Structure formats: structure tokens, C-alpha cells
Chain A
Amino acid sequence: MVKIKIDEEACVGCGSCVDDCPNDVYKLDEKKGKSTVVNEEDCMACLSCHEICPAQAMEHQDIHVAKRLYIDRKVNEVIRKIL
């Protein structure tokens, strides 16, 4: 099953992920002013939330990572070396 982690240090509490997720996976914790994961089991790993989050605060674990063949193999090699 998908596991989602929110980096609370990074999250700025904008609520974009709450609005954007089609499956209501997130909720804004009003007290903390941070996003929280409330419905992990409905996450389909579309990663729209990654694209909208201005703080890159979330991490999805154990998901199918879609092929991105348009990224040059040479670029991938360099990235792999750096990481």
C-alpha cells in the first residue's frame, strides 16, 4: 500500500494539495497550519500533489513510478551518479 509522508518543516500550509487531490487524501490541520494525510488508502499515486506543492513537502513510498523515457539516458546516468 502507498505510504505518504509530509515534511512538516517544509509544508507552508497553503492547502493546495487538499484542493487538488481528487481522492481527498489530505486535510489541513487548522491548529498546526499543516497538511495531514487522512485517507492514504485512496491514493492512486497520480502525483498531482507533488506537482502543485510549492514546498515539495511530500513523499510517496512504495508506488509504481511511471516511465519517463523522454528523459535522456545520459541525463539519468548523471542524476544517478549525483544521488
Chain B
Amino acid sequence: METEREVFGNFKPELIPEECSGDINDYEEALHVLMKFMGSMSSALEQVSGRGANAIVYQAGKRMGHEAGKLVEKTDDLEKAMQELSEILGIEFYFEMWKPSNQAEYTIEKGNETIVKLIFRDCVVRQTLRRTGLRQKGPLCYLLYGYTVGAVEEVMGIKGKLDIDHVGPNACLKTLTIKWGGK
């Protein structure tokens, strides 16, 4: 095993030390540790709380989403809101709008609802689940659903809902329903 690189230096409270980051190996190591921790936390939560785990985690994600949504510009334009959402989620949750070939537009209007399908191509949650051998659609996925819904609700000032259509090893399809005037 390689010897660990120790960092020596001066440290004062409130200051960022000159040398506190690591090299790419450190980041890789940290990512693996976090994935393992998250995976085991999620499966333990499921064992203890059963399906209730999804609801708890969804609420936690939603709260996070609302907080994150406060930092970006408000809009009632769906396309703009999707751009804001992709900024909030970051490149590790790369998604785009999707539609079947026989549907003309990305959005479907139904009464006071707008429905849009989102395909998540890159997803750290999916990677974590695969790293730890856990199935998709469990509590960790609900954390992301909550986060997405919370952020959209905050950005657009609406009530939202996200349903899982399909999960795959390379992409997951979700349906976002926006309820206008329903906050």
C-alpha cells in the first residue's frame, strides 16, 4: 500500500489552510467511502422503517430542494425553470426533457396541470446504488425526487409531483407534474 501523504502547516481558526485539499486519489477514495456509507445508511433505513423510509427521505430531499431553489431566480416559464433546476442539481445529475416519438411537444397540458417527462442520464444516486449492490427506486432515489420537486416548487411557486416511470442502469425516466395555482 502507498504511504499516506501527511500535510503539515500552520492552522488558525476561521482560516482555510494553504494545503487542505487532496489529489485526485484522495477525492476518489472519499467518493467511495461516501458511496458505501450512503448505501448502507439507505438500506438500514429501509430495514427499520420499511416503505416509510421513502416518505421520510422524500421530505428531507424536498426541504433541501426548497432551500436550493431560494438561491436562483424565480420563473413561471417551464423551460427556464428546467435550466435553473439543472444548475441546482449540477452536472452529476444531468437530465433532459424527453418525449415519445408520437408526441408533438415535450409538455402536455391537462386542466390546471402541465406534465413533462424528464430523463436523468447521469446520476450519483444510481452510481451509489450500483456501487453498493442496492436496487433502484429505494430511499436514496426518493431523496433525489424530493430534491427535484422541492427545487421546482420553489423556483416556479407551484405544487409539484414526480413519478418514476422507469429505472435503468444507464438512464431513468420520470414524469414531473406541475399544478398551477396550487401552492
**Interfacial residues, chain A to chain B (CB-CB below 8 A):** 22-23, 39, 41-42, 44-48, 50-51, 63-70, 72-73
Contacts and interface: CB of A to CB of B under 8 A. Distances in A.
Interface of B: 24, 28, 31-32, 35, 92, 94, 98, 100-101, 119, 121-124, 126-128, 130-131, 165-173
A42 B98 CA distance: 10
Chain A contact residues: over half helix, strand or loop, or mixed? loop
Contacts of A64: 94, 121, 170-171
A46 B128 contact: no
Contacts of A50: 169-170
B173 A46 contact: yes
B106 to A, nearest CB: 13
- Which of A48, A65, A66 is packed against the most chain B CB atoms within 10 Å? A66
A41 B101 contact: yes
Contact of B170 (A23, A41, A47): A47
Contacts of A73: 24, 28
A63 B128 CA distance: 22
A22 B126 CA distance: 19
B31 A69 contact: yes
6 contacts: A23-B100, A47-B171, A48-B167, A66-B169, A66-B170, A70-B31
A69 B82 CA distance: 25
B98 A70 contact: no
Given A22-B166, A44-B173, A46-B171, A68 B130 contact: yes
A46 B100 contact: no
Contacts of A44: 98, 119, 171, 173
Contact of B101 (A42, A66, A67): A42
B171 A70 contact: no
Nearest to A41: B101
B168 A70 contact: no
Given A46-B172, A47-B170, A69-B31, 10 more contacts: A45-B171, A46-B171, A47-B169, A48-B169, A51-B169, A63-B170, A64-B171, A66-B126, A67-B92, A73-B24
Contact of B128 (A22, A41, A42, A70): A70
B110 to A, nearest CB: 21
Given A47-B171, A66-B122, A69-B127, A42 B100 contact: yes
